Chains A and B, each alone.
Chain A
Amino acid sequence: MNIFGFRISPSSAINLDNVDKERFRELCRIEPDAVRCMACGSCSATCPAAGFSGMSVRKVLLYLQRGKEEEAFKLMSNCMLCGKCTMVCPRGINTRHLILSICRIYDKEEKK
């Protein structure tokens, strides 16, 4: 029933109460450096895939922590694992292995 001519879309707001934190915790066990990101954006600026899928390790990490996993996966879909982000990261985060670990732990299908 749509009497107003528009529908109320699902809220895009972040509700931390509803975020499943377990999988990010699992990720952190393998990649303790994941939480050291200071969001400087170097990785996104240098990323060759940023121009194609908007890839940004910074955003991926943020989205995963805020329960926006689908959006994170979309960004990652063009990652070429070239290692430029690892090279420029001022915190020395091993972003390549981080991305591989995300690909191993997270799953598109089993959505929460």
Chain B
Amino acid sequence: MDRRDAAWYVDRVAQGLIFAGGISAIVFIVGIFVFVTKEGLGFVFGPLQPGEFLTSIAWRPTSNNPTYGALALIVGTASVTGFAMLFSVPLSLGAALFIAEFARGKTREILKVLVEMLAAIPSVVWGFVGMSIMNPLIIRIFDVPVGLTVLNAGLILGLMAAPIMTTIAEDALKAVPDSYREAAEALGATRWEVVVKVVIPASRNGLLAAVLLGVGRGFGETMAVLMASGHAINLPTSPFDSVRALTATIAAELGDAPVGSDHYGSLFTLGILLFVVTFVVNLTADLVVRGVGKK
């Protein structure tokens, strides 16, 4: 009876393939990290002056006397992402609340599909919207000379981050058992009271994770930000200033930087910075979802 039949071999092979698939995520992330660090570390421990990198806004890698001040790029990314979250978080959480708690039947199904479609729009198309629709609109409405600004890139980025935040926040709300809602309503709570006093507290971790993933999305976005932000090295003092993002800088300059040069290394240093920030944000989101640090 103890024969290794076809089912046994299929089971073995399937297990092997699934294991390879599962482990590949780790292989790739470690591989990317090793590659980015390898290319950047030579610069970090060589010509890089940490003081200049973090406090100067002079990013002149191709000048005869090159300087590598990344402050404006860091602030650019932070301001665009921050502005995006400012308007995207309420929008997304509101949308998730509506879909999960108030919409019924067809409305809800249609909304879910539309939100998911929003996530599928390529970022270059968003950039296009930023350049050719938002740009003239901002110039006209606010009577400013340039429309490719923190405001423009922030709005575009906010719209781009909204679908993922909405979907994850909705999942978190849906994970709250209906029995809680029924129990609270049976106590005489209105729908709104149920949402505020029971559902949101119960799904707090998931909602926070949704926001963090949105932030991670914002930090990493490149093309749309490159197109909509104006791509000008500048410390912004208002939403109507153009800025330049870390990601956009890498995308725009890497093709022109000779492999192995200081310029090349400096761009990889920006990459390490981005990698570390998004990694920390995503890891935090993940830990929050799992409820680490919960009392």
Q: Do the two chains bind?
A: no
